[in-house]
């Protein structure tokens, strides 16, 4: 079993935000900083969306409109981008999100049994969340780790060479 934290996804320390107003203010500041790092408003969009998702937990229509206002990219285009990438959450998901790859390499290496496992153990199907809010499952196309198939992401952590022997142990770490 290999585990790796995706460097690019390491959340920037944003502090704890409770009420919506201070989250908005933080997002505004964050995007202001981001804007200085990129040449065009458009190139700020992905990191800006990611920042919004970290602050709010998921990307509501309001959040998309806010990102649109702050980046200058139109709301429709923001939505187009958000719905293209499966790592953006367009609805509230569980505390931990399992992104399980079932594309060719992973499938050959037994991803379907892992999917069955999740279904039997947690009654989880694609797109669903467990009743206690602990896990959500998102089935992915190739996540670029075919050489270590089957692979999955849990939140920001990558897990490789998963099997029926270690999946329970991995997931036990996520409460």
Partner 1 sequence: MVKLTINEQEVEAGRDSTILEAAKSVGIIIPTLCHTKGLEAYGGCRMCLVQIERVPRLQTACTTKVNEGMVVFTETEEINKARRAVLEFLLINHPLDCPVCDKAGECLLQDHVARYGASEGRFAEGKRVHPENVNDPFIVRNMQRCILCARCTRMCGEAQGAYAISVTGRGAHSFVEPFSGDRYNCEYCGNCLTVCPVGAIMSRLHRHSYRPWYVEKEVETVCGFCGVGCTTFLQMRAATIIRTLPKLGTGVNKGLLCVRGRFGYDYVESEGRLKTPMIRVNGVLEPVSWEKALAYITTRLKDIAKRHSPKAIAAIASGMCSNEDNYMLQKLMRFVIGSNNIDSTARLSYAPAKTYIEKIFGTAATANNISDIEKSDGIFTAGGDPTAINPVLGIQIRSAWRRGAKVVVSGQPGGLGNFIDYDLNSVPLHEETVLNTIVIGLAEMKGYTGKNPYIEKKIKALRVPCEPELRATGVLLENMEEAIDDLSRLKNPVVVVGPALLQSGIPSKNLFLVAAIAYLIDARVYLLSKKPNYRGLIDMGCVPDSIPGGLPVRPGQIKLKKGVTLTVPSDKGMNLFEMIEGALDGSLKALYVMGENPVFNLPDREKTEKALKALELLVVQDIFMTETTRHAHVVIPASAWSEKDGTMTNLGGRIQFLRKGAAVSTGRSEWRVIADIAKALGMNETYSDSKEVWEEITQISVLHSASEYEEIKGVGLMWPYGSVQFQGGAEDFEVEGLEILPEVPGRKTSEGCVVPGNKLYLLPERSLFHSGSTTRKSKAILSVSPEPYLAINTVEAGRLGLCNDDTVWVKTARGAAVVTVKIVMDCPEGVVMLSNTFEKVNFNALVGYAVDPVLKCMVLTDNEAHIEKL
Residue ranges that bind ligand FES, judged by CB under 6 A = 101, 103-106, 142-146, 149, 151
Judged by CB, which is closer to partner 1: 78, or 118? Answer: 78
Q: Does 75 bind partner 1 (CB under 8 A)?
A: yes
Please count the residues of this chain forming the interface with partner 1, following the rule CB under 8 A: 15
Residue 64 interacts with which of partner 1, ligand FES, none, CB < 5 to 8 Å by class: partner 1
For strands 157-160 and 96-101, give the pairing. unpaired
Give every CB contact of residue 156 below 8 A, 6+ residues apart in sequence.
5, 6, 9, 10, 11
Task: Record the tokens describing residue 70, joined without a space.
Answer: 């702050």
Judged by CB, which is closer to partner 1: 22, or 74? Answer: 74
Q: Does 79 bind partner 1 (CB under 8 A)?
A: yes
- Distance in Å, CB of 72 to partner 1, minimum: 6
Short-list 21, 22, 29, 42, CA closest to 12: 29
Contact in structure between 112 and 150 (CB atoms under 8 Å): no
3-state secondary structure of 159: strand
Residue 104 interacts with which of partner 1, ligand FES, none, CB < 5 to 8 Å by class: ligand FES
Q: Does 89 bind partner 1 (CB under 8 A)?
A: no
Judged by CB, which is closer to partner 1: 57, or 80? Answer: 80
Respond yes or no on whether the N-terminal peptide bond of residue 38 is cis (omega within 30° of 0): no
Respond yes or no on whether the N-terminal peptide bond of residue 150 is cis (omega within 30° of 0): yes
Select from 27, 51, 55, 64 the one that contacts partner 1 (CB under 8 A): 64
Q: Does 76 bind partner 1 (CB under 8 A)?
A: yes
- Distance in Å, CB of 59 to partner 1, minimum: 13
Contact in structure between 164 and 114 (CB atoms under 8 Å): yes
Over the Cα atoms of the chain, what is R_g?
17
Can you tell me the distance from the alpha carbon of 39 to that of 85, in angstroms, rounded to the nearest whole number?
A: 22
Residue 108 interacts with which of partner 1, ligand FES, none, CB < 5 to 8 Å by class: none
Interaction site with partner 1 (CB under 8 A): 61, 64-65, 72-80, 83-84, 86
């Amino acid at each position: 079993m290999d585990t790796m934290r995706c460097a690019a996804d390491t959340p920037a320390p944003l502090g704890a935000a409770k009420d919506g107003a201070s989250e908005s203010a933080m997002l505004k500041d964050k995007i202001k900083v981001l804007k200085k790092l990129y040449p065009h408003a458009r190139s700020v969009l992905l990191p800006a969306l990611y920042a919004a998702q970290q602050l709010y937990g998921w990307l509501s229509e309001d959040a998309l409109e806010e990102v649109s206002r702050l980046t200058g990219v139109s709301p429709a285009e923001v939505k187009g981008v958000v719905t293209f990438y499966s790592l953006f959450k367009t609805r509230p998901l569980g505390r931990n999100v399992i992104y399980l790859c079932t594309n060719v390499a992973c499938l050959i290496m037994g991803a379907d049994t892992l999917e069955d496992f999740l279904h039997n153990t947690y009654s989880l199907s694609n797109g669903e969340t467990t009743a206690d809010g602990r896990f959500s499952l998102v089935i992915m196309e190739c996540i670029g780790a075919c050489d270590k198939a089957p692979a999955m992401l849990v939140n920001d952590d990558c897990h490789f060479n998963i099997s029926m022997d270690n999946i329970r142990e991995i997931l036990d770490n996520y409460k």
